[in-house]
Amino acid sequence: MSRRHYSTRWDEENVFPQCYGCNVMQQGQQYLFSKFIDEKYGEGYSDVLLFKSRETVKFSDFELEEMIQDYTKRLKDLEKNLI
Q: How many domains does the chain have?
A: 1
Tell whether 12 is covered by a domain.
Answer: yes
Q: Which domain holds residue 70?
A: 6-82
Q: What is the pLDDT of residue 45?
A: 94
Q: Is 14 inside any structural domain?
A: yes
pLDDT at 26: 86
pLDDT of the chain along its 83 residues, tens only?
A: 777 888 988 888 888 888 888 888 887 788 888 999 999 999 999 999 999 999 999 999 999 999 999 999 999 999 998 87
1 within some domain: no
Residue 26 falls within a domain, yes or no? yes
What is the predicted pLDDT for the residue at 23?
80
CB contact set of 34 (below 8 Å; sequence gap of 6+)? 46, 50
pLDDT of residue 25: 85
- Looking at the domain assignment, is residue 63 inside a domain? yes
